[in-house]
Structure 1
Amino acid sequence: MPENYEESGYLHLEDFFTENELQDLEKILIPFHNVWLKNNENGFQSGLINSHSITSSEYIEENERLHIFRFISQEKIADIVAGLFPNKALFLNTQLFFDPFNKEQNNYWHRDIQYTGMSLEQQQENICRQNVIHFRIPLKPELGIELVPASHRIWDSEEELETRLSLNGRKPSDKLTTGKMRPLNRRDLLVFSANMIHRGLYGNDRFTFDIIFCDDIPDFKKFIDVRDQPTKKELEFLNKNLFLM
């Protein structure tokens, strides 16, 4: 399994979760999302397609927060993390992805690393040596995500770079000849590198929970908010290896 990821930059594991696991998660995430939408109405209507930092949110209770941490660090997820990261990994954050308010809003090709402030040269170097990995959990069938396989280690072609950066008349929403669509079903798990060229596919009223892990290195620790991490008391009930201590 790690070999497949290293080659393509992603793993699609069907029927990875049970209905009970997802239903317990939904009891927390759906109320959270409803309150978030109410309190972020302007942002949602202006184009937001995700929320984040669920484990530090005032919209969930302490027992719900601990449940999410237990879900994140459960053995079958921790085993995959251990197999994909060359060294120790850390939990970085959570995100919820949903459809935009404006149904005509375009999606966009990107690498997450392009939002870090690095130059293109630094980005090109760091995708080969740094790791940020999304564990995407769809809570309903969705169109999924479109990926450029192997781009987590290979730099953009001319077409890809022009599209991603809006150069020479191309737009980030334009079709790429190298893109591969991965539709997702409830109970699936999609593991993919944040370094790779990708875009979410809107539609079907998507509702997707992402857990993000990163290398345990100073470059990433500066992006970790300790409020998103378990407390010392909570760590007593968890697999401690995946969290900042």
Structure 2
Amino acid sequence: MSTSTLDRVAAFRAHGFFVVPAFIDAGGRAELRRACDVALSHARALSRETGHSTPRISLLTDGVTCFQDDPGALERIAAFVGSARVCELLSGLARPGEADTPRLKDAHYYHEQTRRDWDGDWHRDSQFGQPDPEIERAVVATTTSVHFRVALEADDRLEIVPGSHARWDTLEELRIRRGADRATPDMPNAVRVALRAGDACVFHAWSIHRATYLREPPRRTLDALYAFGRPTVRRWAPPGA
């Protein structure tokens, strides 16, 4: 690994995230924003809720509909999130025993909603679909899932608890994350990750984190989610077996 890669992996292991300043230039940013805005404009035109009261849209799940008038825009986004430059940032982040090559699960476009402001809930992505904390705890301890995001406009909405990806919750963290006060500003040790336009951030999806959702300033952030699965073991069988 190069020195820069080793530094990124070390930061990820220690803190659960790292930032890459100026990952894409102004031209690349504008092209990517135009492609993502195709989907956002389509979603806002078709719905009173999606794109207005929600802070993100799915670019892959709803891609057939959102990009039906400009399929080339989806191709540009897919080429970017699957590019060698992006995949290089994910190199070395898997746990021992996990596949080295990440699997793209989805891509989302975060935007400013038009109707109201609110503070998001503190969470780990691992809790979704896992009502049993002990099952979730096993997921956190044994698997890796990461967000790669790039800010197409300055974005300081993400808050994260450094190091929380590598351990289970404290009693206070669990009370907040699984309790009735999930949007409190008083999460212990949380830090805000401020990205300038063009900056990229990679963070562990199992980290305790949240975002704040505001109508302004404009938010245009592309976020791709990747998972490192267990490698498939292929066993040789003799002919005719």
TM-score tier, shorter chain, comes to 0.7 to 0.9
The Cα of 1:217 is off from its aligned counterpart by 4.3
- Compute the TM-score of the two structures, normalised by the length of structure 2: 0.81
The 3 A distance-change label for structure 1 pair 81 and 104 is: closer
The 3 A distance-change label for structure 1 pair 100 and 162 is: farther
Is 1:25–2:36 an aligned residue pair?
A: no
Deviations 1:37-68 (A, max 9, x none): 122213455x4221113373322233222222
The 3 A distance-change label for structure 1 pair 171 and 92 is: closer
The 3 A distance-change label for structure 1 pair 192 and 144 is: same
Pairing partner for 2:227 from 214, 217, 232? 214
The Cα of 1:5 is off from its aligned counterpart by 0.4
Name the residue aligned to 1:80.
Answer: 89
- Indicate the larger mover: 89-98 or 209-218: 209-218
Percent identity over the alignment is 20
Is 1:157–2:170 an aligned residue pair?
A: yes
In structure 2, distance between residues paired with 1:93 and 1:104? 25
Give unmatched runs, 5+ long, in structure 2: 1-7, 232-241
Count of aligned pairs:
215
Alpha carbons 2:16, 2:163 under 8 Å: kept: yes
Correspondences of 1:45-84 after superposition (within 5 Å): 47-54=53-60, 56-60=63-67, 61-84=70-93
Larger Rg: 2
Report the residue type matching 2:210 in the other structure. Answer: R
Give unmatched runs, 5+ long, in structure 1: 219-245
2:54 alignment partner, SS class: coil
- Compute the TM-score of the two structures, normalised by the length of structure 1: 0.80
The Cα of 1:139 is off from its aligned counterpart by 1.1
Structure 1 outlier segments of 4+, above 4 Å: none
2:169 alignment partner, SS class: coil
Name the residue aligned to 1:240.
Answer: none
Name the residue aligned to 1:34.
Answer: 41
Q: CA RMSD in A?
A: 2.0
Alpha carbons 2:149, 2:224 under 8 Å: kept: yes
The Cα of 1:142 is off from its aligned counterpart by 2.1
